[in-house]
Structure 1
Amino acid sequence: MPARRPRRPRRAPACCVRPRASPPRAHGGQTVRLSATRATDVRWPCCSWRSPAVNRVLRTATVGALLLSPVLLTSCSAGQIAQTATQDRDIRGGQADLGDIHLRTATTAYPTNGLYEAGDDARLLVAIANSGPTDDVLTDISGDGFESVEIVDPEADPEATEPTTELTIPAGGNVYVGDGGPAVTLVGLTEELTPGTALQVTMTFENAGEVTLPVLVGTPALDLPRGEGFDFHGEE
């Protein structure tokens, strides 16, 4: 009997062949497809090859982006807290940062008749936080839109009814002016003011220094009674 030929081992499909360390070379007119980061021989479409140099570039770019992210975020926020003293305003009221002193939602109370006329007094509403290790003292409040300021601090003296000239901001604490705490009144407004407009008010602190911030004229509270034109429910 004729000798049987040994059976050849079956070749694995092209997609199962492990890619070589270097890109397959094109022989016999074979085509190699090139992309931005990979080279693929049409004979082995599943076995793409990426250049080690490209890998290094991609890794370097990724690490660089991660390292730069905090810098970019810090620069974006520099307008609010990165400087020694900054001031800004939003829909809730004026705000400012001065060292360890932080002022938020600075407004006046909503005027009784919908506007302040020249000569009226306006109650100041503002939250003051002291993030420092020592107490600071608000020693002066000034501005061009009013004649003077009255400060009454019942916490310093529970029976106090006469105005004082100072307001202590405790270390690591908050003071909510006009919200059940100290009362500050801007006396003798010099011009008519309507909700949404603002006064430029300068506050001076014993340790932190002084900062000027916008104080918005207050808008009506949500729980004020509505007129008939806003009653969409009808009679019940």
Structure 2
Amino acid sequence: MTRRLSTLALAAMLLASPATLAFAQDAHSHTAAPAGDVVTVGSLEISGAFTRATLPNAPVGGGFFTIHNTGSEDDRLVSASTPIAKATQIHEMAMEGDVMKMRELDDGLIIPAGETVVLKPGGKHLMMMGLTGTITEGETVPVTLTFEKAGEVTLDLAAAGTAADAPAAGHH
């Protein structure tokens, strides 16, 4: 139980917003211009895909991007996978009082028609668990997303700094 709590605490710190990290660890946020490439699958446009570099032996990492649904019907992100992790889940983080809580979205993430959903540090995100190696700044991490209606698409998450809240400059 202690190991599980420690892993969850580490995951919360890795996925916390840069403002939270700055408060908790006096860390610096590395903000950069959003990535310019847009990946399209069905009526969905995915942009700004990035992850954060991890420390050696870190058990988890996060995946972040923006999804815009240009269609007239809702879609749903139902699953994700990456070869660098044993499991990838769709999560959300929210403050409950003074405590940051994280939970898996068992039914996936709805992408409403005509709207934009942002997966970002401190909010909705992909949780890559059981990392098989370190995510290094400057590299890319392939992630395959499966949507209920649009189908499957693979995109590259640009690895930015450990406290980044956007893709690193020059990564598309």
Shorter chain as denominator, the TM-score bin is 0.5 to 0.7
* 8 Å Cα contact 1:146-1:187 kept in structure 2: yes
Residue equivalent to 1:128: 67
* Pair 1:162-2:103 in alignment: yes
- The gaps in structure 2 that reach 5 residues or longer are 1-33, 95-100, 165-172
Give the distance between the partners of 1:124 and 1:92, measured in 2 at CA.
14
Residue equivalent to 1:106: 49
- Give runs of aligned pairs for residues 72-91 of structure 1, distance below 5 A: none
Give the distance between the partners of 1:180 and 1:190, measured in 2 at CA.
24
Task: Give 1:139's aligned amino acid.
Answer: V
Shift of 1:97: 0.7
List structure 1 runs of 4+ shifted beyond 6 angstroms: none
Shift of 1:152: 2.6
* Pair 1:195-2:143 in alignment: no
The structure whose Rg is larger is 1
From 160, 173, 187, give the equivalent of 2:115. 173
More strand by share: 2
Give the distance between the partners of 1:100 and 1:121, measured in 2 at CA.
30
- The gaps in structure 1 that reach 5 residues or longer are 1-90, 223-236
- Give runs of aligned pairs for residues 1-236 of structure 1, distance below 5 A: 92=35, 95-109=38-52, 111=53, 115-153=54-92, 161-165=102-106, 166-179=108-121, 181-219=123-161
CA RMSD of aligned residues (A): 2.9
Give the distance between the partners of 2:71 and 2:114, measured in 1 at CA.
6
* 8 Å Cα contact 1:139-1:204 kept in structure 2: yes
Matched position secondary structure for 2:152: strand
* 8 Å Cα contact 2:93-2:103 kept in structure 1: no
Given the two structures, how large is their TM-score scaled by the length of structure 1? 0.47
Give the distance between the partners of 2:162 and 2:123, measured in 1 at CA.
21
How many pairs does the alignment contain?
Answer: 126
Taking only the aligned residue pairs, the percentage that are identical comes to: 30
Given the two structures, how large is their TM-score scaled by the length of structure 2? 0.63
Give the distance between the partners of 1:132 and 1:122, measured in 2 at CA.
31
Matched position secondary structure for 1:201: strand
Shift of 1:139: 0.5
Matched position secondary structure for 1:191: coil
Task: Give 1:169's aligned amino acid.
Answer: I
Q: RCO higher in 1 or 2 (8 Å CA, sep ≥ 6)?
A: 2
Give the distance between the partners of 2:40 and 2:90, measured in 1 at CA.
22
* 8 Å Cα contact 1:152-1:163 kept in structure 2: yes
Distance change in 2, residues 1:197/1:125 (3 Å): same
Give the distance between the partners of 1:180 and 1:220, measured in 2 at CA.
14
Shift of 1:150: 2.9
Task: Give 2:45's aligned amino acid.
Answer: H
Shift of 1:126: 0.5
